């Protein structure tokens, strides 16, 4: 009931955790009771639904709006001292904060980051590999998952990264670098909350009918992954799908179910409509409207 109320799911994630926990306890109990049998649990049903995302035109509108909010200073060469000097009133919607939102959005666009990564990102994690290509080594990952290089798949990433690195500290936090983190005495989730606040304000201005949902930054992550898959269908199969999923810190099955299947379904519907339009709707029965 709580899962349905909070996120519209059937609580399958909690059920999986409970099953794993019970199995772990049973295995430990076998030390004292060797004949103990671990029970077979019924399979856990999962509810899936298409995730919310921006399309290409909506994404372009959002980026344009954020640029407008910071008076397009992100298009100019700027060093870290000049960044620090940008207007930053006590209000959260100030020019320097809009620059941070822009950089956070573009880092998401190029590196497919999770919302929880944003407050951890450090300048030294993003490095040129010597060929003008930027890579990200996430040194802190979700639940101690394997650390590996995250590649930028879009060629325009490198020009952006060069400009962005100029206006950021050589070492230290990238997003809101002047904001204290929890281990420095700052408030928990302050970076995430500020990003979500600014994101909502920008979307309200340029896309008033779009619903970001309860996890605004996760919607942006879904957007960046989906747009990449739409732009390059060669990522849909084989080793490219496997590599892309790993680059996004997820699984091929998740990519297939969450993004590729809805993209393919929409493509099939469009192609069918076009085929019928070309044929003049002369084959089979049809309804006059």
The β-bridge partners of 136 are: 126, 150
Q: What is the pLDDT of residue 124?
A: 93
Q: What is the pLDDT of residue 288?
A: 62
Q: Which of 120, 248, 131, 242 is nearest to 191 (CA)?
A: 120
The helix/strand/coil state of 135 is strand
Q: What is the pLDDT of residue 284?
A: 56
**pLDDT profile of the chain (289 residues), mean per 10:** 66 76 86 83 66 95 97 95 92 95 97 91 91 83 63 92 94 93 82 95 96 93 97 96 94 94 93 86 59
The β-bridge partners of 150 are: 136
Q: What is the pLDDT of residue 27?
A: 85
Q: What is the pLDDT of residue 45?
A: 60
Q: Which of 110, 133, 102, 107 is nearest to 120 (CA)?
A: 107
In this structure, the dihedral spanned by the alpha carbons of residues 276, 281, 283 and 284, taken in order and rounded to 10 degrees, is 100
The helix/strand/coil state of 149 is strand
Strands (E), 73-215: 126-128, 134-137, 149-151
């Amino acid at each position: 009931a709580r899962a349905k109320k909070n996120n519209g799911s059937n609580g399958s994630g909690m059920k999986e955790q409970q099953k794993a926990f019970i199995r772990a306890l049973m295995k430990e109990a076998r030390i004292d009771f060797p004949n103990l049998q671990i029970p077979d649990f019924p399979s856990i049903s999962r509810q899936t639904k298409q995730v919310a995302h921006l399309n290409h035109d909506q994404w372009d509108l959002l980026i344009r709006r954020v640029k407008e909010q910071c008076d397009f200073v992100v298009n100019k060469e700027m060093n870290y001292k000049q960044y620090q000097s940008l207007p930053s009133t006590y209000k959260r919607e100030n020019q320097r904060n809009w620059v941070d939102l822009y950089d956070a959005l573009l880092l998401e666009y190029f590196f497919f980051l999770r919302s929880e990564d944003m407050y951890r990102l450090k300048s030294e994690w993003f490095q040129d590999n010597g060929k003008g290509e930027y890579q990200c080594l996430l040194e802190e990952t979700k639940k101690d998952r394997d650390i590996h290089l995250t590649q930028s798949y879009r060629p325009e990433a490198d020009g952006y990264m060069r400009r962005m690195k100029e206006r950021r500290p050589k070492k230290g936090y990238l997003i809101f670098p002047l904001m204290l983190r929890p281990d420095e005495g700052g408030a928990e989730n302050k970076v995430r909350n500020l990003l979500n606040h600014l994101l909502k304000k920008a979307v309200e201005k340029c896309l008033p009918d779009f619903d970001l949902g309860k996890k605004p930054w996760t919607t942006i992550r879904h957007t960046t992954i989906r747009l990449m898959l739409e732009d390059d269908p060669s990522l849909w199969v084989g080793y490219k799908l496997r590599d892309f999923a790993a680059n996004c810190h997820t699984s091929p099955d998740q990519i297939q179910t969450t993004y590729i299947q809805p993209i393919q379904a929409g493509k099939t519907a469009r192609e069918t409509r076009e085929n019928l339009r070309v044929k003049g709707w002369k084959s089979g029965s049809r309804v006059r409207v």
